Amino acid sequence: MAWDVLSRLTIIDLMELPRYPATSLVRYARYRGKHPREVVLLKGLPCVWSRCSFCDYIDDNTTDRGLIRRVAEAELAKVTGEFGRLQVINSGSIQELPDDVQGMVRDVMRDRGITEFWTESYWAYRRDYEATRRFFRVPTHLFLGVETFDDNLRNVVLNKSMHWKSPEEVAAATDSICLLIGFRGQTKDIIRRDIDLMLTRFRYGIVNLFTENRLSAGLMDPDIKAWFREEFAALDNEPNVNVLWHNTDFGVG
């Protein structure tokens, strides 16, 4: 585990993180865009950080391991393997699925002939990335929510608590990142640099357009979003980049 972050969170901290009832969510989808894949949205244990200024995804997390398992059993049973690719989202990091649920994911991929796995992981788990890849026994792309390579925006505005010396340090840890576009403080030059780094340093990228939620009121920059839609429409032609013009474009959520 990433004890450098966990050491800052006591068990009481985790238990007292706010929990809100989730609305009815779509948890299984067949994504037929670039790199077609089946996508499942599972419940996980509380995110190890849980303090990003824009993230309400943690509302779907729980300490109820029985519920986590029941959701996983129901959604993974829908996986057919038709695309040979699976993406698991769990409103945090793959490492925050209990071990038995991670084993269920691995077994489903084995039984359905799935040969490529896409999932997400926080920077604090980076020392565990290789062990995670070995565990799933298929090529595994761990998407890191970089959001932006601008240190101030990432750590002060978004409160990501992710620090590195250079983009090359990130690229040495993972081949896949997510960027967030359309929040206040971003400039056109910052976005151009972020997109260039994604295209030149990483194999896969997911670009998310900012969507306001209960935590992030006032943080969205509609002008930057509108500019990006026009300036970077051609990203839809990049074979290894998914642009989520809407936050449910993968079909779940």
Tokens 């900012």, residue located = 210
Kindly tell me if the per-residue pLDDT of 199 is higher than 50. yes
The tokens for 235 are 């990203």
CATH number of 3-244: 3.20.20.70
Q: What are the backbone dihedrals phi and psi of residue 68, each rounded to the nearest 5 degrees, phi first? A: -55, -45
Nearest to 42, CA basis, from 84, 100, 81: 100
At 216, the pLDDT band (50, 70, 90 cuts) reads: low
Q: Which residue has the higher pLDDT, 60 or 13?
A: 60
- Entry pTM: 0.87
Q: Beta strand pairing status for 37-41 and 85-89?
A: parallel
The tokens for 95 are 């490492």
C-alpha 166: how far from its chain's center?
21
Kindly tell me if the per-residue pLDDT of 179 is higher than 50. yes
- pLDDT tens-digit readout, 223-252: 999 999 999 999 999 999 999 998 899 999
Residue ranges of the domains in the chain? 3-244
At 76, the pLDDT band (50, 70, 90 cuts) reads: very high
